[in-house]
Chains A and B, each alone.
Chain A
Amino acid sequence: MSTVLDTLVSQPYKHGFVTDIESETAPKGLNEDIIRMISAKKNEPEWLLDFRLKAYRHWLTMTEPKWPNVTYPKIDFQDISYYAAPKPKKKQSMDEVDPELLRTFEKLGVPVHERAALAGVAVDVIFDSVSVTTTYKEKLAEVGIIFCSISEAVHNHPELVKKYIGSVVPAGDNYYAALNSAVFTDGSFCFIPKGVKCPMELSTYFRINTQDSGQFERTLIIAEEGAQVSYLEGCTAPKFDTNQLHAAVVELVALDDADIKYSTVQNWYAGDENGKGGIYNFVTKRGLCKGRNSKISWTQVETGSAITWKYPSCVLLGENSIGEFYSVALTNHKQQADTGTKMIHLGKNTRSTIISKGISAGHSNNSYRGLVKIGAKAEGARNFSQCDSMLIGAKCGANTFPYIQVNNPTAKVEHEATTSKIGEDQLFYFQSRGIGTEEAVSMIINGFCKDVFQQLPMEFAVEATKLLGLKLEGSVG
């Protein structure tokens, strides 16, 4: 590769500032007392404390997964603070929110104020461990939609939370899900009642601000019979030269004929070009298509984090239910990503589509890992998977690990994979037509990611396109 290619992927991380907000942080370390403290801070009912303690005790018996294709020094779970909240405590309306906090979100381009009204997006904002604001709550309530922080839901709608929490991702599901179940501090809750089509995009914005704190949010979305919702999440964090742990759990439940679309643009701090600092993004996301004809669609644009370990999955239980996974994962410098999906076909005539686009630049390592499992009773199940990798430069890596298990002879499973490379000759072709290298790379990358970007809500698609351009600036040469 020429030097031009080497200088195109390095744009400084622009969300790397720290907001000077006094925060209330729990002492480092994890034990039952810390969990009781978190639960008490949040004034939780007994059953939730039990849920946490059970998860914690189970977690103690588990070991960290070793199978992902990533390497990092052992995490000292006693060196993390499990609770950080901005002071003063949460306010009731937007006007009472700390102006410093609002400025932070303005700086990040998150529409929490008038801009939210213009964009017609309802936003829940999670700052470190707690939800600081949720917009449009009343308007949504008129049609029966509940959109609030999960802490509020625990108090105001305990029966719903109790019924569904852990129903898709059980507390002991995996190491990080168990940890999250023990210490989760906040997150978003969303309930769309029977027959309601959510009139606007719902959105949660996550920000880690405090150094040495972990973020463990828990999101729960329930769409009842015939309900429809499109949900977006965005994430950023300041630059610290230590690693921060982000272990979230997202659970989606779709009943008969319900449709949930979940989109993520993840831009956590990725560490510097030498791999110092950055977020460990160890996340469990799973949707249950519980009802007939239900549909869950995951779209993710993963550009940040030092390490990403994430497999948004669908359990297709209801007959004729549909699961979709559209992903763009970009890694640069020393980033590592092991990401993909699981499509578990249990019901008859269930269908799933997987479109994964991995882009590796710099010295990064990008792996797709996906499981397609067809259960014995899943008559007529179908899956189509397309996994494409693109390499920029000669020092990065791309891997594909597809797992296919078929236990029903009527199933049809297709898997296609390609690897391509942005090479000198392609760039020269653009240049010989007057087009500069950066524009050329951006055009090639956007062409490569088109199938995924067109799944994103429009505003997000524009943002994602810009983000990839920024991330790759200076990396091509």
Chain B
Amino acid sequence: MINKDAKTILEVRDLTATVAGVEILKGINLTVRAGEVHAIMGPNGSGKSTFAKVLAGHPAYTVKGGDVLFEGKDLFALESDERARAGIFLGFQYPVEIPGVTNSAFLRLAYNTVQGGRGKDELDPLEFDDLVREKMKLLEMNPEFLGRSVNDGFSGGEKKRNEILQMALLEPKLALLDETDSGLDIDALRVVAGGVNKLLNADNACVLVTHYQRLLNYITPDYVHVMSAGRIIRSGDRTLALELEERGYDWLLDGKKAAA
């Protein structure tokens, strides 16, 4: 939902970043306003996932240049846990397994930490149990998930639902969803996308990183950006995604080469 008067949630200017000394992001510019859904597409290795991880503060990546403002404040002044408490959420492409830590304990600690950071009351285990069961219905999740270790032995689809469950609990201002559609069958995709849709509103925003247009049939983007070799090389509306589906990325990359 585009509203040019809505307040800016994320402002990225000339962002460059490296991993192990190799430059992956080579000058990204992006503005995300409240209420907007942005899709970032592009071939493998173009830097899409890196972009999401850099915004969330993954320690393996080093920011070399540029600025990122989150709600007008310098994002890089915050540690990654502070960013999460400020309202940034990263939905992982490959959620890690944490054997021995139950999902319910983990979710409650995350919820209470983020609530605490916003000056809100924490919930005791019983209150939290009511809340989390309510949210799980949204994603058609079986309550027995709560007693299992975090992501341990979960199928790909179960892990992704668990990610969106966390998004539902933490109510972020900006959700960065990294290939949330990968590993999902059609039914699971519909449920997960439906869950995301219910969470989006005029006050928050979402950046979807995806390979395929398929996800965008369920979550309608306001903007589609194509990344290649660490830069956004083309931006458009959702019809760009449909065009990519039909023609692949090559015509854009070729065009870029020709332009260069």
Contact = CB atoms under 8 A, between A and B. Distances in A.
Given A420-B99, A424-B59, A429-B98, A434 B92 contact: no
A431 B149 contact: no
B196 to A, nearest CB: 17
Given A420-B99, A443-B101, A443-B109, A433 B58 contact: no
**Do most interface residues of chain A lie in helix, strand or loop, or is the interface mixed?**
helix
A439 B59 CA distance: 17
A436 B81 contact: yes
Contact of A435 (B83, B99, B110): B110
Nearest to B85: A434
B16 interface: no
Interface string B173-211: 000000000000000000000000000000000000000
Interface string A407-447: 00000000000001000111011111111110100011011
Given A424-B59, A426-B96, A428-B59, A433 B166 contact: yes
B109 to A, nearest CB: 6
Contacts of A436: 81, 113
Nearest to A477: B59
Interface in A298-313: none
A450 interface: yes
Contacts of B84: 431-435
A444 B100 contact: yes
B59 A434 contact: no
A136 interface: no
A443 B105 CA distance: 9
B109 A447 contact: no
Contacts of A4: 59
Contacts of B102: 447
Contacts of A430: 81, 110
Interface in A1-59: 2, 4
Contact of B90 (A424, A426, A432, A437): A432
A431 B110 contact: no
Contacts of A2: 59
B68 interface: no
Most chain B Cβ neighbours within 10 Å, of A425, A431, A444: A431
A477 to B, nearest CB: 10
A432 to B, nearest CB: 5
A428 B113 contact: no
Interface in B102-116: 102, 105-106, 109-110, 113-114
A429 B95 contact: yes
Query: For this complex, into which size category does the number of interface residues on chain A fall?
Result: 20 to 34
Nearest to B88: A432
Contacts of A434: 81, 84-85, 110, 113-114, 117, 170
A164 interface: no
A439 B90 CA distance: 19
Interface in B72-131: 79-81, 83-85, 89-90, 92, 95-96, 98-102, 105-106, 109-110, 113-114, 117
A448 interface: yes
Nearest to A433: B110
B81 A435 contact: yes
B98 A431 contact: no
B183 to A, nearest CB: 17
A436 B81 CA distance: 6
A71 to B, nearest CB: 32
B259 interface: no
Contact of B60 (A424, A431, A447, A450): A424
A447 B80 contact: no
Contacts of B83: 432
A450 B98 CA distance: 13
Contacts of B89: 432
Contacts of B60: 424
Contact of B113 (A429, A435, A446): A435
23 contacts: A420-B99, A424-B59, A426-B98, A429-B92, A429-B96, A430-B110, A431-B81, A432-B81, A432-B84, A432-B90, A432-B92, A433-B106, A433-B110, A433-B113, A433-B170, A434-B114, A434-B117, A435-B109, A439-B109, A439-B113, A443-B101, A447-B100, A450-B100
| Across the A-B interface, the 9 shortest Cβ-Cβ residue pairs | A447-B100, A433-B110, A447-B101, A434-B84, A431-B81, A431-B80, A434-B114, A434-B113, A434-B85
Interface of B: 56-60, 79-81, 83-85, 89-90, 92, 95-96, 98-102, 105-106, 109-110, 113-114, 117, 149, 166, 170
